[in-house]
Amino acid sequence: MTGKLTIYTLDWVPEGPRGFVRDLRLRWAAEEAGLAYDMGTVRFEDRETNHLESQPFGQVPFLVDGDIRMFESGACLLHLARKSETLMPRDTAGEAETTQWVLAALNSIEMVTVPWWFLKITGKEDNGLTGWVDRRLAQLESVLSRREWLAANRFTVADLLMADVLRVSLLRVHGDRPATEAYIKRVTDRPAFRKAHADQIAHYVAADKERSGRQ
């Protein structure tokens, strides 16, 4: 049984990660699909331990859909995609192609790029991962130079996830990949992304005011 969706995020984060906290992926998918949803929160303080029953690694987002409870943004996106043909085709071939690119975004791109940029922002410029990152991004650039979308010749949840992985500023300024940059702009120019992004920023700005009022 499923019901109204509730997407959980942190009640507050500092300015740096705003616009990139991964509940944005789920908000964006729900906006694309026209799915009604509420937002729930867990406290930023003690965040690594205060919701382990819902997310065993102490992260966000996690999703409640009636009696279904899920964590991991990729798994939640695939769950939402099964609710809407906007996010995933209903034919077997289109669904398979979409799924493979969702997993590619997580396993072939994000798995490499996140530790690379995290080490860079913590001061480890020469971190040994740059060659690996460059190869993966060059391979993806080759794909995107030949197609507008990753799967099924149209926008799918695979594009949503891949663009979210790629839009990190350190990646966008690293190297010259015109097809990739055009792709990121094309996907993030969608109204659903703009609304989800603005809503996340507004959520944390409101939290700033609430926290300052408690001081």
Does residue 212 have a pLDDT over 90? Answer: no
Ramachandran category for residue 101: left, alpha or beta (phi over 0 → left; psi -120 to 50 → alpha): alpha
> Domain 5-85+192-214 adopts which CATH fold?
Glutaredoxin (3.40.30)
- Answer whether CATH 1.20.1050.10 is correct for domain 92-190: yes
CATH 3.40.30.10 domain locations along the chain: 5-85+192-214
| Positive/negative CA dihedral, 168, 169, 173, 177 | positive
User: Would you give the DSSP letter of residue 52?
Assistant: T
Decide: helix, strand or coil at residue 45: coil
Residue of 77, 66, 68, 98 whose CA lies nearest to 23: 77
Question: Locate tokens 């695979």: which residue?
Answer: 158
Digit-coded pLDDT (tens) for 114-153: 999 999 998 887 788 999 999 999 999 999 999 999 999 9
β-strand pairing of 62-65 with 5-10:
antiparallel
Q: For the segment 51-73, what is each residue's pLDDT rounded down to a tens digit?
A: 999 999 999 999 999 999 999 99
